[in-house]
Amino acid sequence: MTSPGRRVTIADVARAAGVAPSTVSRALNCSPKCKPATRERVMRAVEQTGFVVNRRGRALAVGRSEAIALLFTDPFAELFTDPTYARLCEGIVSRLADGPNLPMILEAATPAERERVLEHIGRGAVDAVVVITPYEGGELLDRLVDLPVPVVLCGQLEGDPYRGIFSTVYSDDVDGAALAAQALVGAGRTEVVCIMGPADNPASADRIRGYRRVLGERLSEDRIVHTGWDQLGGHRAMRGLLASGIEFDAVLAGSDRIAVGVIEALRDAGRDVPGEISVIGFDDHPLAAQYEPGITTVHQPLREEGERAAELALAMIEGEAPQTVVMEMELVERSTV
């Protein structure tokens, strides 16, 4: 116990916890270098001693802002309408919740916004940047290379051009898509079509590559339609395929929202799912489980990706080298195959 009226210090907490003051500092900053059991012991000592963190003073002392940017380069409305981004951000925010670092959303969809963001980051306003949409605004990433701030990418870029410079966390779209295609083959489906998101999105190319790993030339270019990732895009694309006269008994949808649009269009045309036609989605958003029938889909651990992205950012703030982390996907079987 400390004397009445005397301010409790980190040294007091360290003595109470039986650790070094530097360990207390790491625990309070939620550093990945601090083991969970050690952090728990430190937090008990904090409570026991009545230590109060002076966040502003500590930030000034270590030269940090205690803010981590969540950089978004798509139109801002997408952040609230696409559940993929919501799950990623949920994971990031939850991992940062117990520490001093505040998440800060930065929008950089236009050239003017990107210049403003780069100026903001360059002034040291954030300690790290987590790029939610790295496939948009490649020139922005090139300019982030020149700034003295750790960067984490949520998503794989073709050729992995920033390996060793930025950290990266992603789920393997190729492997996930192969699981979906294999499920259709296992169900005896032979005439497969694919309705995928935008052709210029790396996830689209990787998912098609995964489908073709299993289906080969059976998934020819004329059996692939690109659209938006949303339900309306899936509905329109399926109407077009039905009108084209192409024969098919299965649909590989690039997202769960596309899958819902596909199923609705098939119902409108009097086609039975899964009796006549199987449908497999992608991502495993809550929508896939809530829809009737439940949509068979590929589970992408988006919340976990967000948590891992935050951990990578915290590690780089502490001076650790960039890392690449690949998450595993799995097939979730429900009622559409």
273 shares a domain with 219? yes
Assigned domain for 80 exists = yes
251 shares a domain with 196? yes
Rounded mean pLDDT of 262-271? 98
Helix (H, G, I), strand (E, B) or coil at 8: coil
Assigned domain for 5 exists = no
Most confident of 92-106, 113-127, 183-197: 183-197
CATH code where residue 41 lies: 1.10.260.40
Rounded mean pLDDT of 280-307? 97
Rounded mean pLDDT of 202-206? 93
Query: Is residue 17 scored above 60 in pLDDT?
Result: yes
- What are 130-164's pLDDT values in tens digits? 999 998 767 899 999 999 999 999 998 888 899 99
Alpha carbon 33 to its chain centroid, in Å, reads: 23
- What are 39-59's pLDDT values in tens digits? 889 889 888 888 876 554 444
**278 is in which domain, residue-wise?**
173-299
Q: What is the C-alpha separation between 13 and 19, in angstroms, rounded?
A: 8
Predicted pLDDT of residue 6: 67
Predicted pLDDT of residue 57: 45
CA distances in angstroms from 226 to 64, 99, 243, 260, listed in the order given? 44, 42, 16, 16
CATH code where residue 255 lies: 3.40.50.2300
Assigned domain for 1 exists = no
Predicted pLDDT of residue 61: 45
Which residues, at least 6 apart from 130, have a Cβ–Cβ distance to it below 8 Å? Answer: 68, 69, 70, 71, 92, 151, 152, 154, 309, 310, 313
- The percent of residues in the chain predicted with pLDDT above 90, rounded, is 72
129 shares a domain with 75? yes
Assigned domain for 335 exists = no
3 against 327, higher pLDDT: 327
Assigned domain for 225 exists = yes
Predicted pLDDT of residue 217: 93
Assigned domain for 333 exists = no
For the record, the structure tokens of 20 come out as 């070094």
